[in-house]
Amino acid sequence: MAAERDVIVVGGGPAGAATATHLARRGYSVLVVDREEFPRSKPCGECVNPAAVAALHRLGALPRVAAANPEPLGGWRIVAPNGTTFYGSFPSGGHGLAIPRAMLDSLLLEHARGAGAEVYTGARVVDVLTENGCAVGVRIAHGAATHQLTARLVVGADGLRSVVVRRLGLIRRRPRLRKIALTAHLQGVEGLGGSGELHVHPWGCIGIADLGEGAVNVTVVVGEDESAKVARDKAEYFDGTLARSGRFPRSERVDDVLATGPFDWPVRRAVADGVLLVGDAAGYYDPFTGQGIFRALRSAELAADVADAALRHGTVSSAALAPYDRARRREFAPGMGLQHVIEAVVSRPTLLNVMAGRFARHPPLADALIAVTGDLKPVTSLLQPRLLARLFV
Ligand SMILES: Cc1cc2nc3c(=O)[nH]c(=O)nc-3n(C[C@H](O)[C@H](O)[C@H](O)COP(=O)(O)OP(=O)(O)OC[C@H]3O[C@@H](n4cnc5c(N)ncnc54)[C@H](O)[C@@H]3O)c2cc1C
């Protein structure tokens, strides 16, 4: 089959838009296909960590994003089940941003278009076309019609439960960590001072981020054992949970509640013959540390470098694309490991209460953790003896 384009990117979220931008800038013909019309909302805490801000800068998209007046984010306040509170600030010079995903994702897709990528929205990819085991395009459904699009390389950027991953049999296992998230915007939330808040309860957690102009993102994450109640009426469940928390006395929900989960979707590898996976499609675990947008943007950079080399050499075999898989693992595996450690602590309220006390007594320890989850420092920076000693005192 003769390829109509160099690259088809399935999914126009941050990972897809960034990959398309990088490759279009290098002169490749790139088509982004997304099942939604934009602007579209996405269940998310809507916090862009400092390393993701730096990645937006490298992408050339930061001026566009800054023009939308995102709210600066200086760090995170964490409240343990017994009320113990600690605050970790991002290192000086690094700050995050809070911005509605409907806005951010539209801006990034517009940026990809500006770089020369074609964008096709409202078109759902339903299958990956293969020839001799190598991906050569996708089948899309647009309304009742389906048609085929071909390319030399397919990029799966279609998020959790990626159709590219499922069609190619790349799911490593079914989710083990089974949580549900409910997200909505509120007005009238008091006491937010330039930082995000995470309230951890024995039954789950509530994340709060000030989006500016009175709007606040509130995300509730609970265990799958609550799924029947959520399914009955997610808005009632969300509003009831917020009322019980006591944190939102004079606030009002201003839009619909979005629900999603579970999030634990590991993949076997992020490459196959003719295919690269970026962002959540390449594997996701848990939203607690808010690193997903960074990984989406960073994986796009790593993928574009390897895709460029493979396309130039005229071979997109999984062996030619394997350097991307290795680079991804090298960069993200330590952070994923830390996420598992954090989950082990957060899911044990008594342990979290004790640890929160240590972090509250030793602010440099809290700052070090927030620098790592902000992707500004490597996980190994937490292993300094002087910091570790504080964990046990
Ligand atoms: C509850 C929750 C809170 C989170 N909070 C944060 C946070 O505060 N900060 C942070 O950095 N990260 C956060 N994350 C993670 C973050 O949302 C993701 O990591 C990020 O969106 C990944 O970007 P992506 O481009 O890979 O996928 P997505 O943003 O999910 O984009 C995928 C795109 O693919 C499209 N698509 C899907 N299937 C198809 C198909 N078959 N055909 C065509 N198009 C398709 C979708 O419409 C979508 O536009 C959170 C995640 C959750 C679940």
- Per-residue pLDDT tens digits for 132-186: 999 999 999 988 899 999 999 999 999 999 999 999 999 999 888 899 999 999 9
Q: Which pLDDT value is given to residue 85?
A: 97
CA distances from 132 to 7, 160, 236 (A): 19, 27, 51
Beta pairing partners, 200: 205
Q: Which pLDDT value is given to residue 138?
A: 98
Determine whether the shortest distance from the Cβ of 13 to ligand 1 is under 6 A: yes
Q: Give 44 Cα–ligand 1 centroid separation in angstroms.
A: 8
Determine whether the shortest distance from the Cβ of 287 to ligand 1 is under 6 A: yes
Q: Which pLDDT value is given to residue 386?
A: 87
Confidence of residue 117 (pLDDT cuts 50, 70, 90): very high
Fill in the amino acid letter for 9: V
375 within 8 A of 289, measured Cβ to Cβ: no
Determine whether the shortest distance from the Cβ of 42 to ligand 1 is under 6 A: yes
- Using the predicted structure, report yes or no on whether residue 2 has a pLDDT greater than 90: no
Question: What is the atom index within ligand 1 of the atom nearest the CA of 160?
Answer: 30
- The more confident residue out of 315 and 387 is 315
Task: Work out the average pLDDT over 212-234.
Answer: 94
State which of 32, 42, 49, 90 you would mutate to test the pocket of ligand 1, scoring each by most atoms of that ligand within 8 A of its C-beta: 42
Vertex 47: Cα angle to 391 and 199 (nearest 5): 50
Q: Which pLDDT value is given to residue 391?
A: 82
Determine whether the shortest distance from the Cβ of 157 to ligand 1 is under 6 A: yes
Strands 85-89 vs 252-253: parallel, antiparallel or unpaired? unpaired
Rounded CA separation 327/305 (Å): 11
Q: Give 159 Cα–ligand 1 centroid separation in angstroms.
A: 5
pLDDT in tens, 293-308: 999 999 999 999 999 9
Fill in the amino acid letter for 297: L
pLDDT in tens, 339-393: 999 999 999 999 999 999 999 999 999 999 999 999 999 999 999 888 888 887 7
Task: Work out the average pLDDT over 32-57.
Answer: 97
Question: What is the atom index within ligand 1 of the atom nearest the CA of 158?
Answer: 34
Closest-CA residue, ligand 1 atom 9, reads 290
Q: Give 360 Cα–ligand 1 centroid separation in angstroms.
A: 32
Closest-CA residue, ligand 1 atom 35, reads 11
Determine whether the shortest distance from the Cβ of 261 to ligand 1 is under 6 A: no
Q: Give 97 Cα–ligand 1 centroid separation in angstroms.
A: 17
Flag whether the pTM goes above 0.95.
yes
- Using the predicted structure, report yes or no on whether residue 1 has a pLDDT greater than 70: no
278 within 8 A of 155, measured Cβ to Cβ: yes
Q: Which pLDDT value is given to residue 388?
A: 87
Determine whether the shortest distance from the Cβ of 292 to ligand 1 is under 6 A: yes
- Percent share of the chain, pLDDT over 90: 89
Averaged pLDDT score across all residues of the chain = 95
Q: Give 42 Cα–ligand 1 centroid separation in angstroms.
A: 7
- The more confident residue out of 20 and 191 is 20
Closest-CA residue, ligand 1 atom 8, reads 45
Q: Which pLDDT value is given to residue 76?
A: 97
Confidence of residue 3 (pLDDT cuts 50, 70, 90): confident
Task: Work out the average pLDDT over 90-117.
Answer: 96
